[in-house]
């Protein structure tokens, strides 16, 4: 189970994850849809970014969310999943040059994904045991 300081750390990580996805969609949009500058996105890419933020905010794994790449659930709707994969394929390799600190942090974050997923499964099992006890 995550301790309070770990929860704070995880919250900071979520902020970083949002920054990373913003940069990646920005890179993709600028190179494919002719947009320019920070925060300038076409309508489709803006919708994708808003969607990705909403998925993060409602992620079932919170507070210990894994990186979406290593997720065992994949909550994205099929069309959005395809789109984000396309963005990742393009922007992923370019992030190391564009935003190396974010790119490296994201790689490091991914190393703890198994632990985060395990923690979620334990919390879920505990909750279902508790509700089983209450119903018996
Ligand atoms: S894909 Fe997985 S990790 Fe990403 S937001 Fe959805 S449930 Fe959470
Ligand atoms: Zn775009």
First to last CA, the chain: 26
Handedness of CA 113, 11, 47, 105 (dihedral sign): negative
Compute how many other C-beta atoms are within 10 angstroms of the C-beta atom of residue 28: 23
Rg of the chain (C-alpha set): 17
Q: Residue 107: is its pLDDT beyond 70?
A: yes
**Ligand 1 mean position, distance from CA 135 (Å):** 30
Element (H, E) at 23: helix 4-33
Q: Model pTM? A: 0.89
Closest residue CA from atom 4 of ligand 1: 68
Q: How confident is the model at residue 133 (pLDDT cuts 50, 70, 90)?
A: confident
Residue scoring higher pLDDT (94 or 131): 94
Segment 43-64 shows an average pLDDT of 96
**Ligand 2 mean position, distance from CA 18 (Å):** 17
**Ligand 2 mean position, distance from CA 99 (Å):** 19
Q: How confident is the model at residue 1 (pLDDT cuts 50, 70, 90)?
A: low
Structure tokens at 117: 């997923």
Closest ligand 1 atom to Cα of 56: 5
Ligand showing the shortest atom-to-Cα distance for residue 76: 1
Segment 118-130 shows an average pLDDT of 92
Structure tokens at 99: 């935003």
Contact between 115 and 107 under an 8 Å Cβ cutoff? The reply is no
Q: Residue 116: is its pLDDT beyond 60?
A: yes
Mean of per-residue pLDDT scores for the chain: 92
Ligand showing the shortest atom-to-Cα distance for residue 48: 2
């Amino acid at each position: 189970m995550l301790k309070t300081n770990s929860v704070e750390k995880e919250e900071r990580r979520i902020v970083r994850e949002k920054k990373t996805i913003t940069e990646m969609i920005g890179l993709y949009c600028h190179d494919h849809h002719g947009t320019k500058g920070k925060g300038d996105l076409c309508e489709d890419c803006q919708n994708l970014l808003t969607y990705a933020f909403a998925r993060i905010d409602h992620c079932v794994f919170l507070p210990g969310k894994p990186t979406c790449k290593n997720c065992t659930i994949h909550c994205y709707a099929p069309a959005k999943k395809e789109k984000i994969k396309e963005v990742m394929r393009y922007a992923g390799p370019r992030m190391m040059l564009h935003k190396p600190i974010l790119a490296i942090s994201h790689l490091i974050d991914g190393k703890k994904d198994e632990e985060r997923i395990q923690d979620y499964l334990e919390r879920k099992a505990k909750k279902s045991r508790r509700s089983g006890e209450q119903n018996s």
